[in-house]
Amino acid sequence: MADLPHLFFEIEPGTESWTIRAPPSLSATPHTVASPLQDERFLGEVRVLREWASRPVLQEDPSAAGTRSYLDRLSRQVGERITTLLLAKDARAALATALRHPEGRRAHLTVRVRDAGGLGDEALALPWELLAPEPGAFALQAQSLQLTREVLVDGAPDLPPPAPALAVAVMIAAPEDRAAIPYEEESFRLQLALSPLGHDVAFSDLGGLRDLVQQVEDQAATVIHFSGHGLPGRLVFENDLGFAEEVAVAEVQRQLHQVLLNPRRTGSFPRLFFLSSCHGAARDPSAEASPSAAAALHRYGFAQVVGYFGPLDPDLSSRAEETFYRVLARGETVLSAAAALRETLAQPLGEAGERIYPLAWAQLAVYHRGPVVPLALCGMSPTRGTAPARRRMIEVSGLPVLERGFIGRRGLQHEVLRKVRGGLRLLVLQGLGGLGKTALASQLISRIVASDAADQLVLRCRELGASEDPILDLQAQAEEHGRVHSFLDWDERMKNLRAQVPEAAAGFGAVVRQIWRERPHLVIYADNAESLQSGPEVDEVRALGSWRPGIDIWWDQMEQLAEDGLLVLASTRYAWQSLNPHSHLGVDPMSPADSLRLIASFEQLSELPAGLRKRLAQQVDGHPRTVEFLDRLVGIERAQAGAASANGAWGELIETLLPRQERMITSDLLLTALWNRLSEAAQEQARRLPVLRTAAPAPVLDHLGERRDELIRAGWLTRYREQVLLGGPAAWMDLWGLHPLVRRQELHTSLSTLEQAHRMAGEGYELWLQSHPLQRLGQREAIYHFYRIREGGRVWSIVQDHTLWLRDRGRFVEAVQVLEDCENAGVTGEPLGLALMLLAQLRKNLGDRSDQLASLLERGLSLVTQPENRSVLLHEYGSLLSNQGRHAEAEVRLREALALDEESPGGTDGAVGYTLHTLANLLFRQGKHAPAEETFRRALSIKRAALGADHPDYAASLHTLALVLLKEGKTSEAEETLHEALEVKKKALGESHPSFATSLHSLAEVVGQAGRFTEAEGLLRQAAAVKADTLGPTHPSVGVSLQTLAGIVLKLGRPAEALELMRKALPIQSEALGPDHPSVAASLQTLGLILSERGELGEAETCLRQALAAQQSRLGDRHAAYGATLYTLAGVLNKQGEHRQAEEILKEVLALFEVAVGPDHPYRVAALATLAETVAGQDRFSEALAWYLEALDLSTRIQSPDHPQTGQILYGAARLQHFLGRSEAAEMAQRAATLLFESLGGDHPTTLEARALLRRITG
């Protein structure tokens, strides 16, 4: 596709106004606009749009079509504002014309600012992607336009000519003390996404700025891909200890410049910085001055920056990044790659396309300076082929170690450094053979602790297994180190030293001290120390791992050196009993992400298809030697089969080799011999360990036997580290478990042993939880083990706590699974009664309204005797009956519960408040608003004292009190109360909890009643999305939100969309709640109103009379909901010409509302206005005008001045004034037209009618 000339728009941003210069071909003169950064309404719309753009639209969600329609309208609204900012009228027309030509060529438009600091960056961070020269049509989405941003800086480098090949340096910064960026998952995902680029992609093993600079320098990278936390104008790296280090973009640029542009090296500055970060390019509305990190990177020297700040969806990110880099690898430009990326962002995700992000394409910002040329001429190196970078070995002190190709172990490296920085000088890396201990130690020494080879004294213990005097050989290795590094007079000094210290161990220590004097930063490392220990292959009396005869005095020297301050490292398969636990460091298996990178570094396995590599990475159990052996076997097999095997069935080849590879590994690990060297007690404990589903804390293992230390020292147990959050910074917990290679050993464990092991494991977890009560993994495992042996009663308190925790986080399905198994697992009596109550509650939360719930509660009451437990059950039963509309029965149960609560010691505790809350809710459902408000306030007072103002139960009472206030017409107080409830829930439960969504729904009702329909629509869509995600798309609560949303959409003048929503909402509610439930009746009323607006009056009347019958049966004919449906029916009768019948009904409704909700309520405003319209329909115009004026007086007294209902009443009154020939008509029509335009928008039908009336009156 050929492109049009480049069009530059330059913005001069000021605090109050902006001056914008268009290219002369579009506009001859600059134009000035008010600064949009001062427009809170606009910034609020942008913020809402970006929040929504990051949420998926689920195709099975009944509100999916409406959500997409809402996003479309909101994006067009923001896009129109963006467009009118940038383009004056003449420039817009000229650009629209330029984009309409048959060749389909793209224009390239650049929004640029002079180096204006934060203000300029703020201007560039606005969503210019929504530019729409043709109203309503985004030129970027249509691919008729390419859009870039540019910071104009004197002397800043342009994009240079293409490099010979593309090379991407990937940095994943995941500090342990920051919120979740799961490093392992992100690394695994990015490797799969970028694998088509082969060797041209390299990952930094650590997450610090120095590591990034080193990676870019080593690789001569043309691209930096940064995935991690971003802050305005800063990037968050990891420091040496793995914690967060915020670095200004200017410092990133300075360090890269210092290394990359050094005259003594060849190379160039990276051409592109791909920033995948939550603040990558978007303006942060929470800060007054928050420059985009992408703009700052561009300002400080990167000719091209791509900032992706879209949805945090791994599937979407993987597909987008793979597409982007594939296009670059073909030798195309970043602009072309960005266009392809936008296109793929707009495509559905999932096997059946079940979710989509409609605006993800607009969440990408491209900064560009200079000519539009490719980054590289080709994606793959023409000289190195397509294979990944190979592992390369070098010799250090005679030991082959990795110079290139070390993979992963980031967390372990940080752990070692934290220990060293904390003053520990002796570290022993221990674990199964082949776990990569030597590679890890050499990486720590050469890359992190002591980069100079002269500072690295490596002792090769493996070759000393058959030595007659290994200590003398170790001394010789130390002497050789000084000789290799040409220490002054070294041979003479060693000759004298041997004469002075003839004993080998002391001589060894003396040699090392001589080296230490020469090299103050010396590190000593003993590799494969198990060669000097008692191993499994030798039948000895000595304990496994103990030093061979005479070797212990050498190790005493090593320990003394460490005490004197020398850093001493060792690696071994087996630990010895006297080893200081602080010095012992278990090496855990590699993660799947690290295994995937490891596979790609081997010659044969790197050629596997990406899908097979991914599967293999999850099969090799994190064991590097497994990969090494498998690569060797594949090479042998392919060599024997000939070149034809290169195109053979890889999957079949690997599957046939895996059993051979496992036999090789088992032999290498000496597992059979190792088992035979274990003591009988250790073997007995080992037979119990397979019952553990996951790695476990040490105290749990100790409950399974007394030989944990022996099993760890032997390598039978492997350390696993788990990051935990306990309300403060992230911390690591050591867990121990069987490596899969060990777990697969046949130990011939009897069923009785397994049952005993489950009991012991459950007891171990039970004891451990007493000191770690917040460890939910431990709770889950304790429950599992006791359930397996049908002793669930022993662990009931843990079951109860765990299910309540799951419930409070909206994880109802998991909680139900735990409770449904408890009776079969042996829970009886009082605990079973409580379990049945919780099960009924959770099933109700999942939408179950069957009679089984009442049966569960009745059975629970028959089992429970303790007053406090009976109170809880009675309360739950009352709540269920209330939800079923059986209010009289519900009130009896609730008052029984309240009596029990108040009789208990301290009758003002949380239980009383909880029951009062439910009783108040029942009164509210019965339309008894004043008693309900009084009861809620009493409940709040008790809950605040008992639980605190930050407790979710306190927020629940705030929420429902707000609903009562809303029904009482106290709109402002209701909104304020709901905001308070939302803030508490947000902190206590999070924004993805269904309870938070329920409060969002109620807030939408409040702002809707205040006439802020657009705001209400956004809140309802957010509430429905959270509910559908957490509760399922067919949950009745989703139906309620869809029904309310339909009513709001109708008020916004979109009856067709409202009808579609109701056709989805009503079946959900009817199926879950039954046809005569009050919520179903409310939906029928909304449906009737929608049908009425569409002119389908017969169907509307049928719906409304069906709703009235259900409400009269369940609520009575004095309830406000019954009155609301009567009111809607009157509107239908009006349209049918039955004005007299409608008038009678409306007068009945006014009387009902005066009692049910009070005389000063918005319900009465609507009824008065409709009564006026009804009387006017009978040609009683003066009487009708009086009703309108009464409605207008009430509306202006109790509602906000800009409420659209006031505008509608003004419009109706103005029509009558005009008909009656009164002079007030013009002024009233003007007020109506203005108010309706501001509240409903210019395209709303009522606004159009009011404007037409005004034109008729004014001529």
Please, how many CA atoms are within 13 Å of residue 640, restricted to the half-sphere of its CB? 7
Radius of gyration of the chain (CA): 37
Q: Which pLDDT does position 338 carry in this prediction?
A: 93
Residue 341 to residue 327: CA distance in whole angstroms: 9
Q: Which pLDDT does position 389 carry in this prediction?
A: 47
Q: Rounded to the nearest 10 degrees, what angle do helices 867-883 and 910-925 cross at?
A: 20
DSSP codes joined into one string, 457-485:
EEEE-GGGTT-SSHHHHHHHHHHHHHHHT
- Strands of 201-203's sheet in order across: 31-34, 17-21, 3-13, 106-114, 145-152, 364-368, 304-308, 272-276, 223-228, 168-173, 201-203
The CA distances from residue 643 to 601, 638, 729, 1003, 1040, in Å, are 21, 7, 55, 69, 65
487 close to 481: Cβ distance less than 8 angstroms = no
**Which residue's entry shows tokens 């109170």?**
871
Q: Which pLDDT does position 320 carry in this prediction?
A: 84
Residue 1107 to residue 1103: CA distance in whole angstroms: 6
Q: Which pLDDT does position 382 carry in this prediction?
A: 36
Q: Would you give the end-to-end CA distance of the chain in angstroms?
A: 53
**SS3 at position 783:** helix
Residue 1193 to residue 547: CA distance in whole angstroms: 97
Would you state the structure tokens that stand for residue 1111, as one six-digit string?
């409400």
695 close to 735: Cβ distance less than 8 angstroms = yes
Q: Which long-range contacts (CB under 8 A, 24 or more apart) does 179-182 make?
A: 179/229, 181/227, 181/228, 181/229
Considering the domain 1179-1259 in this protein, what is its CATH number?
1.25.40.10
Q: Across the strands, what pairs with 736?
A: 696, 719
Q: Residue type for 989, please?
A: L
The angle subtended at Cα 196 by Cα 222 and Cα 160, nearest 5°, is 20
576 close to 533: Cβ distance less than 8 angstroms = yes
Q: Residue type for 1084, please?
A: L
Residue 410 to residue 364: CA distance in whole angstroms: 30
By C-alpha distance, which of 1132, 1120, 1117 is closest to 1087? 1132
Helix, strand counts (H, E) of the chain: 50, 25
Q: Which pLDDT does position 175 carry in this prediction?
A: 82
DSSP codes joined into one string, 254-275:
HHHHHHHT-TTS-----SEEEE
User: Which ranges in 1136-1180 belong to alpha helices (H)?
Assistant: 1139-1156, 1162-1176
DSSP codes joined into one string, 1088-1128:
HHHHHHTT-HHHHHHHHHHHHHHHHHHT-TTSHHHHHHHHH
pTM of the model: 0.69
Provide the CATH topology of domain 168-368: Rossmann fold (3.40.50)
Residue 1022 to residue 1017: CA distance in whole angstroms: 9
721 close to 736: Cβ distance less than 8 angstroms = no
Residue 320 to residue 27: CA distance in whole angstroms: 37
By C-alpha distance, which of 811, 809, 804, 806 is closest to 834? 804
**DSSP H or E run through 34:** strand 31-34
By C-alpha distance, which of 1092, 1161, 1067, 1089 is closest to 1120? 1161
Q: Which pLDDT does position 700 carry in this prediction?
A: 95
User: Does the structural domain 392-586 have CATH classification 2.60.40?
Assistant: no
Q: Is 630 exposed, middle or buried (0-12, 13-18, 19+ CB in 10 A)?
A: buried
Q: Rounded to the nearest 10 degrees, what angle do helices 812-820 and 829-845 cross at?
A: 150
**Where would I find the beta strands (DSSP E) of 657-809?**
717-724, 731-738
Q: Which pLDDT does position 448 carry in this prediction?
A: 65
CA torsion, points 8, 13, 18, 19, in degrees to nearest 10? Answer: -40
Would you state the structure tokens that stand for residue 374, as one six-digit string?
């490719």
**SS3 at position 31:** strand
**DSSP H or E run through 814:** helix 812-820
Residue 549 to residue 469: CA distance in whole angstroms: 11
Residue 1243 to residue 693: CA distance in whole angstroms: 62
Q: Which pLDDT does position 643 carry in this prediction?
A: 47
CA torsion, points 944, 945, 948, 951, in degrees to nearest 10? Answer: -50
Would you state the structure tokens that stand for residue 434, as one six-digit string?
């082949």
Q: Is 975 exposed, middle or buried (0-12, 13-18, 19+ CB in 10 A)?
A: buried
Residue 903 to residue 26: CA distance in whole angstroms: 82
Q: Which pLDDT does position 4 carry in this prediction?
A: 57
Residue 1144 to residue 921: CA distance in whole angstroms: 32
**Which residue's entry shows tokens 């600064």?**
35
- Provide block-wise average pLDDT over 10 residues at a time, the chain (1259 residues): 72 91 86 89 80 76 68 86 92 85 72 78 89 89 90 85 85 74 66 64 83 84 85 82 85 82 64 76 40 78 88 78 85 91 86 79 91 76 40 56 62 85 92 87 77 89 88 94 92 93 94 95 94 81 85 95 95 92 89 80 80 80 86 84 53 80 84 88 92 93 93 90 61 84 78 89 92 82 94 93 82 87 92 94 77 90 90 87 78 86 66 81 79 86 84 86 82 88 87 87 87 86 84 82 90 87 85 78 90 89 89 82 90 90 91 84 87 90 90 85 85 89 89 85 83 87
